Structure 1
């Protein structure tokens, strides 16, 4: 099998093996459903509550996508500013590092105070959580542009703006998408964390409500849908990256 086939078959085979081992362990050990439901019980619960979970997934997905796009725009803009001026880099970088060191979960209640309990607070919090990977990766890519290409631009009299878009940005694409891939997963995580605190709908709220009612299978079903949502966003980013790199190499 080629590499692409292996990249599909091996994860699926591993998932099936884990599910079978999980099912056998629960049945043989006699573990109660309240503690650890079997995969078959989780799947039955998923089918029974699928319409409700799909509605919750739309809510979470919409907010995660908005936060993700906001993080990309803010991260790329910040990276461009940092790479354009050494003075700006020296001014902004300590604040960025300090903010990155602060546990983001500790900031979530402040977003509720500042922005209320509606979707604005959840989107902003998730955008902050997923902003830093794009910023750091893109700034590294813009800074590590091939010096010979920059010298060639200077010798041809290219403006700084033209050099940035024609040389620096294409060279930074692999770094940029590396940060975007990480950001896509953190956007979903940020929205779910915010839903734990200030939401009346969404997958995070569904997980929290199921846990409060001791419905372990329902919580696992919501987590499964959440994983599929994260995989869909990550897969979309990977597809865009493949197209962008193909354009860059062309």
Structure 2
């Protein structure tokens, strides 16, 4: 019996399975072990510096103090992480739909592009933090203002990336489709959109981080719950360890959302045959 057909009972791993997992095994030290060691080294240096110079905890607590505070208030932080996560995810989804739709209109309508694109760029150049209080005035202190602000600051990268992807379709492919009498919808769904998928997800990866920032800024201003509210509350109490613990949970939330976008990208890219 060959090595390809023997199972685990025979004491060998199937060759096809080994070939499938070999690239991941080769990248494991670089993508997992190296970042973990780097982070551990930075935390160790942080701990040593704080203890050596006896820095007050209110100014900069040691990682061990932050970890202890995190353990003490973890249920509270997880409770407040729920609205932050849900609002960030919803804001990102709305920004993605708005960004992709607007990019399609900008690509297919020259008149619409000439009329709207400069306005979109001008709004992007405005400092976003300065507009956050206006969203509260316009939409109130509830979730609507935070969602609107998150969408406002996160949709632009998706618009730019999607438009670039739609416009960068190989001309030879478009000429071939026209020669085959393909309809505009067939060209869009079978050629333009698949070629734009990597661009779209590049914009989405940026947008998901912006959506989290938008929600946190909104929570700074008006919310009574959420990680942004916890950070503001801890700041008023000079509880720096709690601030850093909340930021740690916020980083975990951001990594989870970013990882979800990256996983969706892999599935869609594989669906269209790019990988």
TM range (shorter): over 0.9
Per-residue displacement from partner, 1:32-57 (whole Å, max 9, x unpaired)? Answer: 10110000000000010001000110
Deviations 1:226-250 (A, max 9, x none): 0000000001111111111111226
Tell me whether 1:110 sits opposite 2:119 in the alignment.
Answer: no
Cα distance in structure 1, aligned partners of 2:83 and 2:157:
24
Aligned to 1:12: 36
Gaps of 5+ in 2: 1-24
Partner of 1:175: 199
Asked whether 1:196 is paired with 2:228, we answer no
Q: Matched residues in 2 for 1:107 and 1:162: separation?
A: 41
* Aligned-residue offset at 1:225: 0.3
TM-score (structure 1 length as normaliser) = 0.98
Instruction: Write the distance in 1 (CA, Å) between the matches of 2:252 and 2:223.
Output: 21
Distance in structure 1 (CA, Å) of the matches to 2:263 and 2:64: 32
The 1-side partners of 2:256 and 2:202 are apart by 17
Aligned residue for 1:80, secondary structure, equals helix
Q: 1:212 aligns with which of 213, 236, 246?
A: 236
- Deviation for aligned residue 1:208: 0.5
For residue 96 of structure 2, what is the aligned residue in structure 1?
72
Q: Give the CA deviation at 1:4.
A: 3.8
Match of 1:34 in 2: 58
Aligned residue among 74, 82, 98 for 1:58: 82
Q: Distance in 2 between matches of 1:248 and 1:200?
A: 44
Deviations 1:87-124 (A, max 9, x none): 11111110011011001111111111111000010011
1:88-127 matches, cutoff 5 A: 88-127=112-151
SS in 1 for 2:70: helix
CA shift, 1:5, in A, is 3.2
Determine if the alignment matches structure 1 residue 146 to structure 2 residue 170: yes
Q: Distance in 2 between matches of 1:145 and 1:92?
A: 23
CA shift for structure 1 position 3: 2.3
SS in 1 for 2:146: helix
Describe the SS at the equivalent of 1:175: helix
Deviation at 1:86, TM superposition (A): 1.4
Choose between structure 1 and 2 for higher RCO, CA contacts under 8 A separated by at least 6 residues.
1
Residue number in structure 2 paired with 1:238: 262
Deviation per residue, 1:138-191 (Å, 9 max, x gap): 000001111111111111111111111111000001100000000111111110
Unaligned runs of 5+ in 1: none
TM-score scaled to structure 2, two decimals?
Answer: 0.89
Give the structure with higher Rg (CA): 2
List structure 1 segments (4+ residues) > 2 angstroms apart after TM superposition.
none
In angstroms, what is the RMSD of aligned CA positions? 0.9
DSSP-derived class of the 1:49 partner: helix
